[in-house]
Structure 1
Amino acid sequence: MTSKRREINRVRPDLAQLKAMAHPVRLTMLTRLRLDGPATASSLAAQLGLNSGATSYHLRQLAEAGLVVEDHGRGNKRDRWWKAAHESTETAPSDIDDVAERAVLMGGYHAVVAQQAAQQIVQAAAEAPELPKEWADLAGASDWNLYLTQDQVRRVKDAVHAIMTETLESSPDRQDAPADAVPFVFQFHTFPRPGTLTHRDGE
């Protein structure tokens, strides 16, 4: 029996949205809202060890960029709930025309993403000895170092993204997930080996 596909709400960030996400607190808040569902500024503040004024400010920045919206089905004027506006983000740096601004912005954004991804990997490694065997066997840490052309890299990326998109569309959302389902993270990073291409254009 084929799994029923669901519509995934995606965003391809524009310049303002990338600027909003290129901040560790805001990116963390957006991730929490996507993974754990709607929350208030005070509950996010408690989770992140911040004051509610700071989280309210960052929520406003995310809202102005169209990345979070109010969940009007919950709370009241004094107790506003927020939810992520999208389930998935696909960055497309080529959409930013200004080359210099694109380089600075994407560098800052990727630095924040990389830092948070690394922290998550370290936390997962620390918890690995405590995992039930059936889940521990599914955890993996693999890397491949290849010599590829731009076209080959693009084809591999597109293939992996297609598999993950198909999996996401055919999987239930958080509310309808089976009782034995757990949040599982797949990280996919692609980059030239550091130091390989830097400043080559100036040679």
Structure 2
Amino acid sequence: MHLYSRSMADPQDPQQVRSLDARSLRGLAHPLRMELLNALRRGGPATASQLAAKLGESSGATSYHLRQLAAHGFVEDVPERGKGRERWWRAVHDGVLFDGRLFQDSDPEVRGAADLFVHEVAALHTRELTTWLGTRDDWPEEWQRAWDMSDWTLDLTPELACELREKMHDLVQSYRDRAPAEGTPNTEQVRLHTHLIPVRTDTRTEREAAQQ
């Protein structure tokens, strides 16, 4: 299983997407650090104070966790933006690549960090959808017609599931390549979530029981 978490990145470009290993995962797998990194990717460079106000945290907490992110290579200084003691930060990469094999790492701390990471991503998706549903009436009619919340059920083998996942990623990338020029009217940042997961069914449970 691979999980992409990215903003404007091409998943094939190693300069834009960072593959998480055991050490970097431990450095990132913290709720506030993940929020900070997402805020910098999606909103651009910012100071610890600006991020604290945006996320409802203290500047001391955001400063500490930004330094931890920097120590693991996820964020870096923007010296040309700073004035006096003001320190600006930016994301180094546009996204991360999570490999599900980290769930089988021999170190229980790594397995715990992997579990926390994917649950925080799932929680972020839920918060974003809930925010949209709560503010939908504030958006122009065109955007109220453009949103989607759908689900499908398919019978697939693991191989077909992987093929479908890759085709979905390729489709999203094709629209990234068609992004409107900066300043194009009525252009907004859009968040797209994809979840492809197997589920247990009553029919399968009964069939497995009959085979025992």
Alignment of 1:27-176 (within 5 A): 27-76=34-83, 78-94=85-101, 98-99=105-106, 101=108, 103-171=111-179, 176=182
Counterpart residue type for residue 182 of structure 1: E
Cα distance 1:172–1:72, how it changes in 2: closer, same or farther (>3 A)?
A: farther
The whole-number CA distance in structure 1 between the counterparts of 2:197 and 2:26 is: 21
- How many residues in Structure 1 have an aligned counterpart in Structure 2? 192
> Among 171, 186, 194, which residue is 2:192 paired with?
186
Change (3 A) 1:168 1:177: farther
Match for residue 3 of structure 1? none
Q: Give 1:103 shift.
A: 3.9
- SS in structure 1 of the partner of residue 76 of structure 2: strand
The TM-score normalised by the length of structure 2 is 0.79
Q: Mind listing any 5+ residue stretches in structure 1 that lack a counterpart?
A: 1-5
- Root-mean-square deviation (CA), in Å? 2.8
The Cα shift of 1:127 comes to 1.3
CA distance 1:63–1:154, change in 2 (3 Å): same
Q: 1:77 to 1:155 in 2, by over 3 A?
A: farther
Give the 3-state SS of the residue equivalent to 1:137 in structure 2: helix
In 2: Cα distance, 1:166 partner to 1:177 partner:
20
Question: How big is the shift at 1:51?
Answer: 1.4
1:76 Cα offset (Å): 3.7
Matched with 1:13 is 20
Q: Distance in 2 between matches of 1:24 and 1:37?
A: 19
- Secondary structure of the 1:145 match is coil
Q: 1:130 offset after TM fit, Å? A: 2.8
Checking the alignment, whether the CA contact within 8 Å between 1:15 and 1:96 is kept in structure 2 is: no
CA distance in 1, matches of 2:201, 2:121: 20
Change (3 A) 1:179 1:100: same
Comparing both chains, which one has the higher relative contact order based on Cα–Cα distances under 8 Å and sequence gaps of 6 or more? 1
Listed one character per residue, the Cα deviations across residues 106-138 of structure 1 (whole Å, up to 9, x for unaligned) are 211111111111011111111123321211111
Distance in 1 (CA, whole Å) between partners of 2:101 and 2:48 is 34
Provide the rounded CA distance (Å) in 2 between the counterparts of 1:80 and 1:187.
Answer: 33
How far apart are residue 49 of structure 1 and its match? Answer: 1.7
Identity of aligned residues (%): 30
